[in-house]
Each structure stands twice: as C-alpha cells, then as structure tokens.
Chains A and B, each alone.
Chain A
Amino acid sequence: MQITVTVNGDEHTADVEPRLLLVHFLRDKLGLTGTHWGCDTSNCGVCVVWLDGTPVKSCTVLAVMADGHTVRTVEGLADGAALDPVQEGFVRCHGLQCGFCTPGMMMTARWLLDHNPDPSEDEIREAISGQSCRCTGYENIVRSVRWAASRGTEVSAS
C-alpha cells in the first residue's frame, strides 16, 4: 500500500507491504541508516526514533502505522553543520565507543532534555533504561547528556 511519512521535515511517499517495519522503511527505503537495527524484540533500543514527537522503538512499529504521521531520526538532530548539544556532548564526553547504541541514546536524550532541561543522573538513567550499551557502562553516556543539559537549553524541536 502507498504511505506518506514526514521524516525529518521531508515528506516521503512509498509503496510498502503492511508487514514492513518502520526501522527497515527508514533504513532500506529511505537510506536513513543512522537508525540502527538490533534485537528486533523491542529490548535493546538501538532503533529508537520519534513518532509524532515521542521516542518509540521502530522495530516494533509498522511503517504503515506511520502513514500520515511524522518521524524524526538521528539524521534530523543536527541543524545543518551545527550539531545538537546532545551530539556535541557525546563527542566531548566520549559517550560512545562502537557507536551502535548511540543514535537511539541520542534521540531519547534529546526528548528528555526537551521535557526536563536539567535532569539528574538518576533521571537520565531511568530515561535510557530501555536501551542497551555494551561498551560504556553508561557512565559516559550519562555525562554526555549532563554536558548537553549544562550547555543550556537551545533546544531543537522539529
């Protein structure tokens, strides 16, 4: 069936099977491979994107469910060449090693800071508790988000 999804502000129309998952639509149909595909069981959280402004695990959302709705992926975080403070925080605080979990972590972190500009360490850990990182032990991810929070609230809402 034909669907139209607004992704990072751009409308995309495509013919898809109803069983196509949103994560594969983004990666394979639109070439937006920043969203990663991991456990396929909504446990690991590497596929987190925003659907209508809310983080969801895109391996457990059908692409057809996004028809007529808006999606924001990690490709939509930066404003041109200017990184989102969350991205800059991950760079400065070594919030990643292998980088596999990073896009999902950053999408959840951006959402957290939009709703709670000065989160405590516990609040950050709670927010990302449905997302696995096998490299950092989460310590530097939490620091990265704190860095973005302390950097101020130039929040990019799209």
Chain B
Amino acid sequence: MGPMQVPAHFEYERATSVDHALALLAKWGSEARVVAGGHSLIPMMKLRLARPEALVDINDLEELAYVRLDGDVLAVGAMTRHADLLASPLVGEHYPIFHDAERVIADPVVRNRGTVGGSLCQADPSEDLSAAFAAVDAAAVVRGPDGVRRVPVREFHTGPYETVVAPGELLVEVVVPVRPGGGSAYEKVERRVGDWAVAAAGAAVWLAGDTIADAGIGLTAVGAAHFHAPAAEEFLRGSAATDSVLVEAGRIAAERCEPVADQRGPADYKKHLAGELTVRALRRAVARARGVA
C-alpha cells in the first residue's frame, strides 16, 4: 500500500442538537472546528493545512436541513446539502441564481455531501455560494452562547478562509428576502467540469418597469472584497435596463476587482472574465425578471 493521506490525530464529538453543538464548541473553544460535509475541511486536514484538536460533527442535525419560505423570506438551513438546494423548487422559483450556481459546484456525488453552511464558513476565496448569497444580499444567522445574531453575507467573510463566526458560534441559517420584480443568475468559467472557478459572477436585479430599481452583484475568485461589487451595483440603481448599461456595470465590476495569477489563469484574463461574466449574469437576470428566460 502506498502512503495514505490521513488527518493528524483529533478528538471527535458528535452533536445531537444545536444546543449540544454549542455546548461542545464552548467546551473546546478555539481548538474546535465544526465539520459538516467535510469536503473542504477533511482534505485540508489531510494536508495539515488545518489541524483542529477537536471536530464537532453536525451531520446529524436534521433540524438545520431545510429550504422554506417564512413569510416573504427564503430561509436555507446551514445543513442543507448542495444537492437539496439544487433540487428545491422554491429556490428555482424565487432565486434561480442558486440553481445556476449549484449546477457548477463540484460534482453530483460531492453535492450529496457538501452543505450550504459549510461552503460559507469554509470561506474559500473561489467559493460559488458566497458570491451568490452576496449578490442577493442574504443574511447569515449565527447562534452563540449569547443568543442569535444576523450578519449580512456581504460582511460575513473577513478574509480568505476567515469569517465573523467566532469560536463557540455556529452558522445555523441563511435568509434572503423575496421581493417582487426580481430576476437572478450565475455565470462561471471553470477549467474543467467540477473545478473551482477561474472566475464567476452572480447578479440579481429588481425591475420597476424598464428601470433597475435595485441590483446586486457577487464575484468569486477575482479578489473582490466580500465577494461583492458595490460600485457596479450603485451604477445600476435607477438606470434603464438596457444592454449598454449592463455592459458598463460589467466594466466597473472588472475595474474594481483585484485577481491574482495562479494555475487557473493570469490576472488580466480573470479581470476580463469578471467583467464579461457580470454582463452575462445581468443579461440573464434581467430576462428572468421580465419573465422571458
């Protein structure tokens, strides 16, 4: 047998409820990591890029696996598997951006295991749902020993692999208000099926007639702070939903991001993609808002 990649030693704790998970996280403090699908964390542990003393397994928390409409708010439980987000008709009806994104996240077998909460908390700078949730201006619901707090997804990530979730806290839900007149879409370029993005863009628009009443743009893998393109959004608000306006928004989004060259491509190519994919996502989002796509 060849060399196995296995994680370093750690203690394993399995949570049986959210309260139990919080108690376990309080017990282990900053030495603990929460494990959900594990498809980012376990590979990182094999490579010693992560070396927690304890893993708190929340896979049994069925109470956090749901997609539902609470009044006019789409609520997605943190333990919702990628496959279940992709299969959800509610998501398809109100925010097709998530179906677009899920179709290009990893592969179907990985999507059976990976979770929405895990994706956000892993905070990989090339992660897709982070950009999609930033585009629609979702909020993360975080529980801790002192209660519940809500953090806009646009403030959730504090850097590569870093979030506002403190030791002892648990992301339990992501919520997005559903507003009339909206359309959304996600566009990604990858080197091969199932890969991380070379670049990707998500867009959400809300139309009032032919005017863009509100817009959201999320970017991933291109060095956009908080996966977000606020200047392009600002430009779109109150503008006519014409193609030249969408193209200009793409230009602004590309101008403000700062991709770095890596094995997935040079920086100027990624910058070009950031603009082009923003435009394509906006076009599709506008068409969906008009009910023609």
Binding site for B on A (CB under 8 A): 1, 17-21, 24, 40-43, 45, 48, 51, 54-57, 60-62, 64-65, 67, 108, 126-127, 129-131
* Separation of A127 and B194 alpha carbons in the complex (Å): 12
Shortest CB-to-CB span from A135 to chain B, Å, is: 19
| Residues A60 and B12 in contact, CB atoms below 8 Å apart | no
B38 within 8 A of A: yes
Cβ contact within 8 Å between A130 and B107 = yes
A60 adjacent to B108 (CB under 8 Å): no
Closest to A55 in B: B109
Q: Contact mask B72-100 → A, CB, 8 Å, 1/0?
A: 00000000000000000000000000000
Q: How far is the CA of A17 from the CA of B11 in the complex (A)?
A: 9
Closest to B57 in A: A65
Query: In the docked arrangement, what's the CA distance between A55 and B35, Å?
Result: 19
Q: How far is the CA of A126 from the CA of B43 in the complex (A)?
A: 24
Residues of chain A within 8 A (CB-CB) of B57 are: 62, 64-65
Tell me whether A19 and B9 are in contact (CB under 8 A): yes
Contact across chains for B42 and A60 when beta carbons are under 8 A apart: yes
Q: Mark B27-45, 1 if CB is under 8 A from A, else 0.
A: 0000000010011001101
Known: A64-B12, A130-B106, A130-B109. 10 other contacts (CB 8 A): A17-B9, A19-B8, A19-B45, A42-B39, A43-B194, A54-B113, A55-B109, A67-B14, A108-B109, A129-B193
Whether A62 touches B12, Cβ cut-off 8 Å, given contacts A19-B6, A41-B43, A129-B107, is: yes
Cross-chain contact B108 with A65 (CB below 8 angstroms): no
A57 partner residues in chain B, CB cutoff 8 A: 39, 109-110, 113
Question: When the two chains form their complex, are residues B38 and A54 in contact, meaning their CB atoms are under 8 A apart?
Answer: no
Q: Which residues of A contact B4 (CB under 8 A)?
A: 24, 40
Give per-residue flags for B105-130: 1 if the beta carbon is below 8 A from chain A beta carbons, else 0.
01111101100000000000000000
Residues of chain A lying within 8 A (CB to CB) of residue B45: 19
Tell me, rounded to whole Å, the shortest Cβ–Cβ distance linking A65 to chain B: 6
Verify if B269 is at the interface (C-beta below 8 Å from A): no
A19 lies within 8 A of B10 (CB)? yes
A-B interface pairs (CB < 8 A), number = 80
CA A23 to CA B112, docked complex, whole Å: 17
Across-interface contacts of A131 in B (CB, < 8 A) = 107, 109
- In the complex, A132 Cα to B9 Cα: how many Å? 30
Interface flags, B1-30, vs A, CB<8A=1, else 0: 000111111111010000000000000000
Q: Does B149 contact A (CB under 8 A)?
A: no
Establish whether residues B194 and A129, one from each chain, have CB atoms under 8 Å apart when the complex forms.
yes
CB contacts (< 8 Å) of B113 on chain A: these are 51, 54, 56-57, 60-61
* Pairs A-B, 6 closest by C-beta atoms: A130-B107, A18-B12, A19-B7, A40-B5, A130-B109, A54-B112
Closest to B11 in A: A18
Question: In whole angstroms, what is the CA distance A95 to B59 when docked?
Answer: 35
Cross-chain contact A60 with B7 (CB below 8 angstroms)? no
Q: Across the interface, name the chain B residue whose C-beta is closest to A23.
A: B4
Contact of B6 among A20, A41, A45, A64 (CB under 8 A): A20
For residue B68, CB closer than 8 A to chain A, the reply is no
Asked if B10 contacts A56 (CB within 8 A), the reply is no
A55: chain B residues within 8 A (beta carbon) = 108-109, 112
Closest B residue to A24 using CB positions: B4
